[in-house]
Amino acid sequence: MSLHSRPKEQREAVRQLVYVVLTRDMSTFNPDRFRHWIKETDAKFRKVSLMLKFEVKDRFVYFRIKEIRNGRMIYQFESSTRVPFDERDVVLTYEELNPAGR
């Protein structure tokens, strides 16, 4: 999971996500705000040929960043604070994230 060989735009997208998750209090999210934030963040990742996957398990958010081209995982981490909702409250599919096939 070394990012040193990734293009600068991809490294910057990952660095920004990690920074935001570390500095933002994830417990302030509700399911709708989290859904909106994930949509915006995934759109930024797709611009640099990456996709953002997440899983909410035991109120922790696990992030996985994959390449669109081959589906290879390039980075993963988890949130350090608990979110006040469960996975069933925030289920998103790619179609929900990108209506009309954007």
Q: Which residues pair with 37 in a beta bridge?
A: none
Cα-Cα end-to-end distance for the chain: 28
Alpha-carbon span 32 to 52, nearest angstrom: 18
The pTM score is: 0.80
Say if residue 58 is exposed, middle or buried (CB neighbours under 10 Å; 0-12, 13-18, 19+): exposed
pLDDT band, residue 89 (cuts 50/70/90): confident
Token pair 């109120």: residue:
59
Beta bridge pairs of residue 61: 56
φ, ψ of residue 74 to 5 degrees: the values are -110, -20
Query: Per-residue pLDDT tens for 19-48?
Result: 988 888 888 889 999 989 999 999 999 999
Residue ranges per structural domain of the chain? 8-89
